[in-house]
Structure formats: C-alpha cells, structure tokens
Amino acid sequence: MSKQRLRLVVGNWKMHGRLAGNATFLEAVARGAAALPGSVQVGLCVPCPYLAQVQSLLEGSRVEWGVQDISAHVQGAYTGEVAAEMAVEFGSSFAIVGHSERRAYHRESVALVALKTERALAAGLTPIVCVGETLEERDAGLTQQIVGSQLGEVLAKLSVEAAARIVVAYEPVWAIGTGKSATAGQAQEVHAFLRKLLAEKGALVANVPLLYGGSVKPENARELFLQADIDGGLIGGASLKEQEFLAICKAADISGVE
C-alpha cells in the first residue's frame, strides 16, 4: 500500500487582524479543522502581538501557528525585531522567512534569509522559506535561476539533517495578492525544479514539503494540490476569511484521488 502524502496549508495574515475579529475567526477555524483528515495539516502565521491570543484559542486544536518573520539574531540591541525563541515561548511551530514582501520592502538578501532559516531551526521552529521570481524575471526566462539561487543559498548553509526540517514555498511575486495565480502547470514546473534541487542535497531532503503561494482560492486550490510536487499552500488574502480558508484546507484532502 502506498503511503499517503501529507498536505500542509498555512495562512499568512500579513498585517491584518484585530482582537475581536480574530477570536471569531480562530474559533471557527479550530472547529472546521477538527473535521479534516489527519493527512491535512493546518497552520496560521499571524502578527506577533496576536501570538498570545492565538495560543490561548488554538492550543489543543488541529491548527498550529507561527510568525511571518524572525530576527537573524538571538537577542540584543535590535529594536523592533522579534527573536525566534520569543515566538517559541508562545507555542509557535512555524516562521515564514524570505517572504517577497520582506525581500522587496526591507531589502532582505538571500544571505540574510539563509541566516534567518538557520536561526529558526536552531530555536526549534519550522522555517517556511519563500522563493519566487518577479514578472520581469519570468519574462526574461530567469525563473529557475532566481528561485535556484534563493533556495541554493539556504541549502548551502544547512546540514542535510537541518535541510530536511525546512518547508519551501514557491510564491511567484506576480501572483501574490494580484488575484492572478500561476496555473497548476506553471507551478508544477517550478516545483519539479525545486524538488530536483532538494534531492541533490540528499535523499532525506527530497521530500521536504513544497507549498505553492500566490492567489490561491477555494476555486483553484484543488487543481494545484493535485500536482505531483505541490504539497500544500501558503495562503495570503484567502486566509483572512474563515470559510475561504477552510474550503482551501478541505481541498487539500485528496484522499481517494492519489
């Protein structure tokens, strides 16, 4: 009997949320997630001020949580930054690193993203390492070169055992928040390339979960999740509405199809 592949769906709230609305949302998602099969894992990456609220409302549920960025430092005079260990103190499982909004608006380099990945792992978090090309880069035929160097820099810093503990999210910059998702075929093509790079690092790393992110909605989620190298999704806008987010989580249940 073939082993069922797990699917991971992680919401990225970005800079959204308020205490009252979060409570309704989190309770609904915790209830909805309870009905999902064990093959679907659910996470939410929230703004740091809400970690305590999320912990108190999701503890004991099927939903894990985390942060959208962490500092590359353990502690010290780094005003405004949040250490991975602080996120862990609030029960976090995940830290997104290298989101394209951080690369673009905060000039995060591939080297800094690699350092943050190391820090997350050292603190016991699962880093969700984002890679993706801009439209100009895609049009110039540079997609593989860009995502290859973004992932390559991270893999080069990690041992095989550490690399096996990351999650990678392919998020084409032109698809994020634009309503224009990559087609399942376009996403699968890049995922197959990323899978090859992971496998080159070592057999243990080949099965690292590869998420797709960029305008995933209930309508397109299933086709994306059915692709051979797409193991789930990183969900921005649609993770703000409980019904949409849960519908995407349900689409990740592809038992009976595999």
Residues within the interface to ligand PEP (CB under 6 A): 12, 14, 171, 176-177, 213-216, 234-238
Return the number of the residue (201 or 231) whose C-beta is nearest ligand PEP.
231
Q: Which two tokens stand for residue 11?
A: 């919401």
d(C-alpha 98, C-alpha 169), whole Å? 10
* 99 annotated active-site: yes
Q: Which residue among 64, 133, 153, 171 is the active-site one? A: 171
* 153 annotated active-site: no
Return the number of the residue (209 or 213) whose C-beta is nearest ligand PEP.
213
Q: Considering the complex, what minimum distance in angstroms separates the CB of residue 1 from ligand PEP?
A: 34
Return the number of the residue (13 or 90) whose C-beta is nearest ligand PEP.
13
Q: Considering the complex, what minimum distance in angstroms separates the CB of residue 4 from ligand PEP?
A: 25
Q: Which two tokens stand for residue 202?
A: 């070592």
Q: Considering the complex, what minimum distance in angstroms separates the CB of residue 204 from ligand PEP?
A: 27
Q: Considering the complex, what minimum distance in angstroms separates the CB of residue 16 from ligand PEP?
A: 10
Q: Which two tokens stand for residue 125?
A: 């978090």
d(C-alpha 246, C-alpha 18), whole Å? 20
Pairing of strands 167-170, 126-131: parallel
Return the number of the residue (57 or 96) whose C-beta is nearest ligand PEP.
96
Q: Which uninterrupted H or E stretch holds 41?
A: strand 40-45
For the chain, how many residues are written? 258
Calculated CA dihedral for residues 109, 88, 66, 20, nearest 10 degrees = -130
Q: In a 3-state reduction of DSSP, which class is residue 55?
A: helix
Residue number of the CB atom closest to ligand PEP:
236
Annotated catalytic sites, by residue? 99, 171
